[in-house]
Structure 1
């Protein structure tokens, strides 16, 4: 090989990392190379199907206790901009990818993803056959795993992982919640090129921070809310003393059964103030109503999950990140006259999507509760609305960080709920999905100019 060829090879190739192993508790072993911090970490193995938004995924506090596998093969190619981060530091246990890009190219990038991961001491491995890994998790279910760059003995790691703690029963929300109340009043300057100025602030919202993503709180600001975030276990009496127009329950990690300090307070808040919950917040409302929560086989994580809005029949492509879900029948018995005459529950909620009915149950604590959204992939519950008190919730993430903007309307719905409107969910999601984005305004301007030009040509032809 010539000297020039060797220089080109050095300049376009990255050095091979130290050997690393991922071992699952069922004995499955996956080999790779270290590509960030070195170490040994334990967590629940999961996978995310998003094609972009890796920084938002990595910094989402809902991933506390988990080792994330990205299904898209190359991660890090557009680098890192810290204003896209969802928290000050990653809460995940480890990262598994096929290929980690070391030379990003993007005008907003300030550093490479490998450098960011090393800076925050995140153990990561590349070179793994992520297709095989994802198929294994999909077929065999989420389970404990160990990711190590320091011990490459499979038998040793298998013994360690089988002795490690499960996230089931662990209150991970407490580990990522804020320590004291604070006013959230920050919008990223670098997003101004794509996002319009926020609406005038007309609502005071208290947000339970169970691991809240910054972009969710930002969307509340943009919808016209002033936001005060409080710790996960703040007494309801303290929240009501702040005299909020509404209470928001945030996303968060882990087993909702273990977050008793939140759902017991939510039980006291329901009926006294409008409440909106997202993801773990949705589960907190369900737990407050006495519902049962199930652990999903491998969870929902990614930006391409289809959900039907039973009220409109529209399908939303949603961003999701959860490993637990509501068992809708546990909320109460069906009310036949409000459920198309049907009297019995269905285990697969896609029955209601086919029937085009939003069924209603009678709950012992809070009266009538309607199923509003259903996951079209597996027929699980994705949203509810309480009909006798002002409260609603969804299992997915509507703020699109990362993900599509189909569910943006839910922030508008929350403001309408605080206005006291019964039709707060009756929103044209096709129009609202562009609300707040400058490209939506630009498209409208271009369309308007085109219409005026066409009118002018028509007049001239006359």
Structure 2
């Protein structure tokens, strides 16, 4: 924080918080002011580019083990409405912002964001040049970091962060999963959004959801697709799940290194082919691991609400919400089937090759038969979705619940319902119409779209 900024703040009702520091393991250090709980926090530094929805980001269990940098300049201006929180308690290690609003204005606000962070023990720093920090992470990659309000000695901070644990190899899903099964129904959805969202349909499907750190909005999305949901712990045996005779099994989002979550993907391998399955984010990676795929750690991950994804089946581009630091390597899932891949026999690491070719390639997996690439990230050519052709299962790397983010991918909840109905065309959906489903204005808007 510059001297001029500090002088200006001292003359306002906000004032200047206690000194705070952020240090990265490569020696980069930023100084600012505390705007959350006092103390120190260690984690992997990452950044999220969403323009709104900071509470949903902060309360997403997938951020366990991480220090989040929010790139939008001012955070907290509309306060905190607790019904928007995605979990009972935030799992992130720390928060970095340019400016924290101390006096929010919103009819739904329960408290200021700084108060929420302090109540939940989240160490946070403001006054950081987040543009410079994000550029540094993009250039040099994700790395360990420390946020401290009690130590501003550079040598001390660097010694601490370099002695801290890496996120690689940690099973963080186990730290945010539920301890025992619980149900999620229409009665669990927040009352304060009923002015905008219509009532969901009656439950037609019984779904077991593996809770690896599931967001509440994802469960709401399943309920709005006609599912009665029972969440179970991350390592629940497949035999226990099948004994309940569900119509489908859902694999949730979650934090950390997917290679470390063997208690989930080992069970997924037993479930595939026995029951219709849908996975997102970590759930996508769990399906990949069950099929023998290799996992890569991305340089700085995909986090935000503006990531373009090509749907290879419909040739539509979806603007998606994402939050992950690891990804599945599609070529490792099997050899290409030339007859179903435009005659091609060679894999390409950059999957945008298939976007340009206009082909949704298929591989032959040793364990589960044919698997089709369905979605590709247009920023870096990584895999964003696959569909199993010989067993009823599909998965995507991004977040269709869009909390926060656009609703382009809402159709995937509908697709899961159609998969449980036994339809072969479950992914053949007009996403432009489906994204309006569930909103109170949706029926009229869909009617206008159909008549256009």
Shorter-chain TM-score range:
over 0.9
The Cα of 1:439 is off from its aligned counterpart by 2.7
Cα deviation, 1:53-97, whole Å, max 9, x if unaligned, reads: 000000000000000000000000011101100000100000000
Equivalence for 1:398: 400
**Are 1:192 and 2:194 an aligned pair?**
yes
Q: Is this contact kept in 1: 2:10–2:16, CA < 8 A? A: no
1:277 alignment partner, one of 279, 287, 292: 279
The Cα of 1:440 is off from its aligned counterpart by 2.2
- Range that drifts further, 104-113 or 52-61: 104-113
The equivalences for 1:55-454 within 5 A come to 55-185=55-185, 186-443=188-445, 447=448
- Range that drifts further, 436-445 or 234-243: 436-445
TM-align CA RMSD: 1.5
Q: Distance in 2 between matches of 1:36 and 1:385?
A: 43
Secondary structure, in 3 states, of the residue corresponding to 1:353? Answer: helix
Cα deviation, 1:162-200, whole Å, max 9, x if unaligned, reads: 110001000000000000011112111001011110011
Q: Is this contact kept in 1: 2:433–2:446, CA < 8 A? A: no
Q: Distance in 1 between matches of 2:75 and 2:282?
A: 27
The Cα of 1:36 is off from its aligned counterpart by 1.2
Q: Distance in 1 between matches of 2:316 and 2:34?
A: 44
The Cα of 1:107 is off from its aligned counterpart by 1.1
The Cα of 1:442 is off from its aligned counterpart by 4.9
Please report the TM-score for the alignment, with normalisation by the length of structure 1.
0.94
Q: Is this contact kept in 1: 2:372–2:386, CA < 8 A? A: yes
The equivalences for 1:23-34 within 5 A come to 23-34=23-34
Secondary structure, in 3 states, of the residue corresponding to 2:57? Answer: helix
Equivalence for 1:460: none
Equivalence for 2:5: none
Secondary structure, in 3 states, of the residue corresponding to 1:208? Answer: strand
Q: Distance in 1 between matches of 2:11 and 2:183?
A: 47
**Are 1:19 and 2:19 an aligned pair?**
yes
Secondary structure, in 3 states, of the residue corresponding to 1:382? Answer: strand
The Cα of 1:10 is off from its aligned counterpart by 7.9
Q: Distance in 1 between matches of 2:9 and 2:72?
A: 26
The Cα of 1:444 is off from its aligned counterpart by 5.3
The Cα of 1:31 is off from its aligned counterpart by 1.0
Q: Distance in 2 between matches of 1:413 and 1:108?
A: 33
Secondary structure, in 3 states, of the residue corresponding to 2:339? Answer: helix
Cα deviation, 1:37-59, whole Å, max 9, x if unaligned, reads: 11001000000000000000000
Secondary structure, in 3 states, of the residue corresponding to 1:408? Answer: helix
Please report the TM-score for the alignment, with normalisation by the length of structure 2.
0.96
Given the superposition, is the C-alpha separation of residues 419 and 11 from structure 1 closer, same or farther in structure 2, using an over 3 Å criterion?
farther
Q: Could you list the runs of 4 or more consecutive aligned residues of structure 1 that deviate by over 6 angstroms after TM superposition?
A: 8-11
Q: Which has the larger radius of gyration?
A: 1
Given the superposition, is the C-alpha separation of residues 247 and 153 from structure 1 closer, same or farther in structure 2, using an over 3 Å criterion?
same
Equivalence for 1:41: 41
Cα deviation, 1:131-156, whole Å, max 9, x if unaligned, reads: 00000000000000011010100111
Cα deviation, 1:88-114, whole Å, max 9, x if unaligned, reads: 010000000000001111111111101
> Structure 1: which 5+ runs fail to align?
1-7, 452-462
Equivalence for 1:3: none
Cα deviation, 1:269-308, whole Å, max 9, x if unaligned, reads: 0000000000000000000000000000000000000000
> Structure 2: which 5+ runs fail to align?
1-7
